[in-house]
Amino acid sequence: MVVLGIETSCDETAAAIVSDRREILADLVRSQVAAHAPYGGIVPEIAARAHLDHLDSLIREALATAGIGFGDLDGVAATAGPGLIGGLIVGVMMGEAIAAARDLPFAAVNHLEGHALSPRLVGEVAFPYLLLLVSGGHCQLLIAEGVGRYRRLGTTIDDAVGEAFDKAAKMMGLAYPGGPEIERAAETGDPARFDLPRPLLGSPGCHFSFSGLKTALRRTIAALPQPLSARDVADLAASFQAAVADSIADRCTRAIAAFRRRHPRGDTLVVAGGVAANRMLRKRLETLAAESGLTLVAPPQRLCTDNAAMIAWAGIERLRLGLADPLDFAPRPRWPLDPTAPPAAGAGVKA
Ligand code: KG4
Ligand code: ZN
């Protein structure tokens, strides 16, 4: 089975071609960072227009890279949510149109399910597994019990962790995206110099929160001589990174216990998303997993950040179970993986 995957939910236009034998025949991503840069954030209208401008040629390029034509496809998958509605409409309409024209089955893929199933594109990872999804837009702990079957253990009450890295970097005068900048600066820094809070440490449940840490960091920076010295930036970065890692490790410890209660034989912890690139966090998770008798699986970075190969793969997983979607499937800007999970609030932080 060879499936075309389309991803347009945020600020990256992506197209990929993947086979059910785990071959990635093409995997193209066209970033819009430059188009949004003058505005200091993602402008939904600009994103939708850029997807419209690029998607057509990107799909043709993907087919050419794979050395196949539309006639060789066995299915089409497009991200149908969650995300910015303009971009979702562009991707879903394109996917549905190709499926209609070629009489192919269509899979409307939940972007989060794309991330959740990505480790299975790389190797044999059996259900159930525990998933930590950490990126600029997502921050969740989930149990993946099967295709279309997820149990959300925790989510963020305020910022996603990548967002927190980006905002912290900005406060320190570092460039965007902030995560890699902070990691680099932290290499020569003292993580014990500044006593930053570990949000929600020891509190029940598996939710995340980073706004208190952000505020504490802002206050700490304001109390230092300006402009910040290189030493101060390094120590701030190291202290911030350590606080984030402690907080995530604490949340994961609780999630592992919950996972084990539910699935005593479950043996895998997967980490995905852009923040999974952070070596300190990875090391912490490796130790944590080993202590709990779990294996840590981290898909390669290219599959961790937003891409269309994971969308094509999720399409394959769904289509081979006969879970095709109708060609009038409407995109969903909000689309939780676990519809039974209550909205995250409380813990005294923010409703
Ligand atoms: O998954 P991703 O590429 O895009 C989406 O969020 O959709 O994740 C990007 C995020 C950014 O917030 C970036 O700062 C963060 O991942 N990031 C990192 C590192 N590399 C990327 N955060 C911490 N340490 C890193 N090495
Ligand atoms: Zn994503």
pLDDT at 181: 95
In the beta sheet, which residues pair with residue 5? Answer: 16, 77
> What is the reported pLDDT for 154?
96
Burial readout 302-325 (b: 16 or more C-beta within 10 A, e: otherwise): ebbbbbbbbbbbbbbbbbeeeebb
Q: How far is the CA of 288 from the centre of ligand 2 (A)?
A: 24
Please give the Cα distance from 186 to 214 (Å, whole number): 17
* pLDDT at 43 (0 to 100): 85
Residue with the nearest Cα to atom 8 of ligand 1?
Answer: 274
Cα–Cα separations (whole angstroms), residue 317 to 9, 126, 310: 20, 13, 10
Does residue 235 contact residue 284 with C-beta atoms inside 8 Å? no
Instruction: Answer whether 274 contacts ligand 1 (Cβ < 6 A).
Output: yes
Nearest ligand to the CA atom of 114: 2
pLDDT value at residue 349: 41
pLDDT at 23: 98
Name the nearest CA neighbour of 140 among 109, 120, 179, 110: 110
Distance 327 CA to ligand 1 centre (A): 33
Ligand 2 centroid–CA 309 distance in Å is 12
pLDDT value, residue 32: 84
Q: Which atom of ligand 1 lies closest to the CA of 177?
A: 14
> How many angstroms separate the Cα of 158 from the Cα of each of 39, 211, 214, 310?
23, 6, 11, 26
pLDDT at residue 209, as a whole number: 96
Sign for the CA dihedral angle at 215, 217, 221, 223 comes to positive
Q: What is the pLDDT of residue 346?
A: 53
Other CB atoms within 10 A of residue 202 CB: 8
Collapsed DSSP state (helix, strand, coil) of residue 155? strand
Domains of the chain: 2-117+302-320 (3.30.420.40), 126-300 (3.30.420.40)
Tracing tokens 């970065």 back to the chain, one arrives at 237
Ligand 1 lined by 305 (C-beta under 6 Å): yes
Distance CA 83, CA 283 (A): 31
Query: How far is it, in rounded angstroms, from Cα 256 to Cα 142?
Result: 10
Q: Is 135 in the pocket of ligand 1 (CB under 6 A)?
A: yes
Per-residue model confidence (pLDDT) at position 36: 81
User: What's the angle, vertex CA 313, arms to CA 341 and CA 106, rounded to 5?
Assistant: 85
Q: Which residues, 6 or more positions from 67, have their beta carbon under 8 angstroms from its beta carbon? A: 25
pLDDT digits (tens, 9 = 90+) for 46-87: 889 999 999 999 999 999 999 999 999 999 999 999 999 999
Q: Pick from 275, 282, 305 the residue to mutate for probing ligand 1's pocket: most ligand atoms within 8 Å of its CB.
A: 275
Distance 173 CA to ligand 1 centre (A): 17
Closest ligand, as measured to the CA of 111:
2
Q: Which ligand is nearest to the CA of 7?
A: 2
Ligand nearest to the backbone CA of 303? 1
Q: What sign has the CA pseudo-torsion 58, 64, 70, 76?
A: negative
Q: Mark the ranges of the chain whose per-residue pLDDT is less than 70.
A: 40, 345-351
82 lines ligand 1 (CB under 6 A): no
pLDDT of residue 137: 86
CA 207 to CA 348: how far, in whole Å? 12
Residue from 33, 115, 135 whose mutation best tests the ligand 1 pocket (most atoms within 8 A of CB): 135
